[in-house]
Amino acid sequence: MRFCAFLFCLFLSYSAQASVSWHSITPEIQFLKQQNKLRFYDSNQVLIEGKECALMFDASGNFAEVEKLAEQLKERLKTPLCYLVASHYHDDHLLGLAVLQAAFPESKLIVHQQVATEFSAMQQALTNKLDGYEKSIELSYQRLANQPEDQQAIWRDKLELAKKRLFRWRELTLNPPAISITESTQLNLGNYPVVITPYQAHTKGDLTLSADQGRVLLGGDIVDSLPYPGHGTFTRWITALQDIQKNTTLTTILPGHGKPLTPAELALPLRFLKTIQELTNASPDKPVSELISLYPAEVKQQYQLDEVGERAFSMFLEAGLKQSKLSK
């Protein structure tokens, strides 16, 4: 049982159930939604195609899934994939873009200026991720002999597939960005303008993208219903969400994790972040463990609707309280 649990993450990417679902938001915008049980562990992606160019916003951290996506894009795109946009530096948004860079070598990577400045660390993160895969495979081989004999052939085949994929992924390079964003920047995809805007909120280097004449916002993890606040800048983040919420043109928000939102539904992540900030401001000397117990039950209940939500909420709350205390 422990062996199977150990391999779960390694082989999750090889399951057909790991595929995202495609949802058409407008004729130009396709929302690639991560399956519900992975909604906090891997990212959504968004494809936008104008009359001359296509743009991909984020990529899964699951390289096998990104390889499938690359094949799908080659079949369905009527225009070149001109741009790859990373909403921020986290692995489940940025690193998979290396797979798309290999598949579409003419595409231009777009990142926040802060990410561009620290890009060597992002390239090292790719190496570290692949090193982790390799160690997992090696350890799995060592444990294979302890499995029931009738299961060994199945797991051996999976491990061989993992080795082949790892060998292929070792050839990947996360190429430096062609465009770094310091201010709101308009791109034209061919009679289809989009605007990319930089923020310091969820991280110190976030990007959002406005499309469909401002009616659709690709918000990355800034706008997640349950946001991970462990690297956040709370005051700026709250202000950003309030500004987005007040945008009367906006109708649809596509988050980095979870289902599409309306501007009104940003009230929940706003309350989550504000409550964390209020708790640490009111009791700066209390340890995180005590602050967790003070968090309002009525907010918890809106997030803890299933086991996945319960685990994510507990983890994100603790990370947010620690980050808020550190920022004092």
CATH code, 189: 3.60.15.10
Instruction: Look at residue 167 and tell me if it is in a domain.
Output: no
Same domain assignment for residues 185 and 317: no
What ranges in 36-96 are assigned the alpha helix state H? 63-76, 91-94
Q: Which pLDDT value is given to residue 18?
A: 53
Same domain assignment for residues 185 and 321: no
Same domain assignment for residues 247 and 274: no
Helix (H, G, I), strand (E, B) or coil at 210: strand
Q: Which amino acid would we find at residue 322?
A: K
Same domain assignment for residues 215 and 105: yes
Q: Which pLDDT value is given to residue 328?
A: 64
Q: What angle do CA 99, 197, 33 make, to 5 degrees?
A: 45
Instruction: Look at residue 130 and tell me if it is in a domain.
Output: no
Instruction: Look at residue 143 and tell me if it is in a domain.
Output: no
pLDDT tens string, the chain, 328 residues long: the values are 333 333 334 444 444 445 799 999 999 999 999 999 999 999 999 999 999 999 999 999 999 999 999 999 999 999 999 999 999 999 999 999 999 999 999 999 999 999 999 999 999 999 999 999 999 999 888 888 788 887 888 888 889 999 999 999 999 999 999 999 999 999 999 999 999 999 999 999 999 999 999 999 999 999 999 999 999 999 999 999 999 999 999 999 999 999 999 999 999 999 999 999 999 999 999 999 999 999 999 999 999 889 999 999 999 999 999 999 998 6
Q: Which pLDDT value is given to residue 140?
A: 86
Work out how many domains the chain is built from and give that number: 2
- Among residues 264, 281, 307, the one where a domain terminates is 264
Q: Which pLDDT value is given to residue 2?
A: 33
Q: Which pLDDT value is given to residue 26?
A: 99
- Among residues 218, 243, 264, the one where a domain terminates is 264
- Among residues 243, 264, 285, the one where a domain terminates is 264
Instruction: Look at residue 152 and tell me if it is in a domain.
Output: no
Same domain assignment for residues 191 and 300: no
Q: Which pLDDT value is given to residue 53?
A: 99
Q: State how far the Cα of 74 lies from the Cα of 77, in Å rounded to an integer.
A: 6
Same domain assignment for residues 215 and 113: yes
Which strand (E) or helix (H) includes residue 45? strand 45-49
Q: State how far the Cα of 234 lies from the Cα of 231, in Å rounded to an integer.
A: 9
Same domain assignment for residues 255 and 302: no
Instruction: Look at residue 312 and tell me if it is in a domain.
Output: yes
Using CA atoms, how far residue 22 sits from 34, 69, 287, in Å, is 9, 11, 43
Q: Which pLDDT value is given to residue 156?
A: 87
Which strand (E) or helix (H) includes residue 155? helix 149-169
Instruction: Look at residue 33 and tell me if it is in a domain.
Output: yes
Same domain assignment for residues 301 and 256: no
Residue 295 structural domain: 268-326
**296: DSSP letter:** -
Q: Which pLDDT value is given to residue 141?
A: 85
